[in-house]
Amino acid sequence: MRKHKLSGFALVRRWFLWAIFGVLMLAFAVQLYFFSMVCWYARFNPSMTSMMRLQLASLRETDPHAVLEQTWVPYRQISDNLKRAVIASEDANFNEHDGVDWEALQKAYEKNHKKHKVVGGGSTITQQLAKNLFLSGSRNYLRKGQELVIAFMLESVMSKERILELYLNVVEFGRGVFGAEAAARHYYHSSALRLSAAQGAKLAVMLPNPRYYDRHRDTNYLARRTNLIVNRMSAAEVP
The tens digit of pLDDT for each residue in 4-41 reads 555 677 777 778 788 887 888 888 899 999 999 999 99
Q: If you average pLDDT over residues 208-217, what whole number do you get?
A: 96
CA angle 96, 213, 211 (to 5 degrees): 85
65 falls in which pLDDT band (50, 70, 90)? very high
Least confident segment among 72-76, 99-103, 176-180 = 99-103
With bands split at pLDDT 50, 70 and 90, how would you rate the model's confidence at 113? low
Give the torsion sign (CA, 115, 222, 131, 55). positive
Structure confidence at residue 219 (pLDDT): 95
Q: How confident is the model at residue 160 (pLDDT cuts 50, 70, 90)?
A: very high
Count how many Cα atoms sit within 13 Å of the Cα of residue 96 in the half-sphere of its side chain: 8
> Mean pLDDT across the stretch 101-115?
72
What Rg value do the Cα atoms of the chain yield, rounded? Answer: 21
Average pLDDT, the chain: 90
Band (pLDDT 50/70/90 cuts) for residue 136 is: confident
**Regarding predicted confidence, which is higher, 121 or 220?**
220
Of residues 139, 184, 158, 145, the one with CA closest to residue 46: 158
* CA atoms of 122 and 144, how far apart (whole Å): 10
Total count of residues recorded for the chain? 239
Q: Is 199 helix (H, G, I), strand (E, B) or coil?
A: helix
- pLDDT (average), residues 114-124: 65
Residue 121: the pLDDT is: 59
For the ranges 27-41, 107-121, 138-152, the lowest mean pLDDT is seen at 107-121
How many CB atoms sit inside 10 A of residue 157's CB? 16
The verdict on pTM exceeding 0.85 is yes
Q: ∠81-209-83 over CA atoms, to 5°?
A: 15
| E strand map for the chain | 172-174, 177-178
List the alpha helices (DSSP H) in 49-140.
50-59, 80-90, 102-115, 125-134
Residue 90's identity, in one-letter code, is E
**Confidence band for 89, pLDDT divided at 50, 70 and 90:** very high
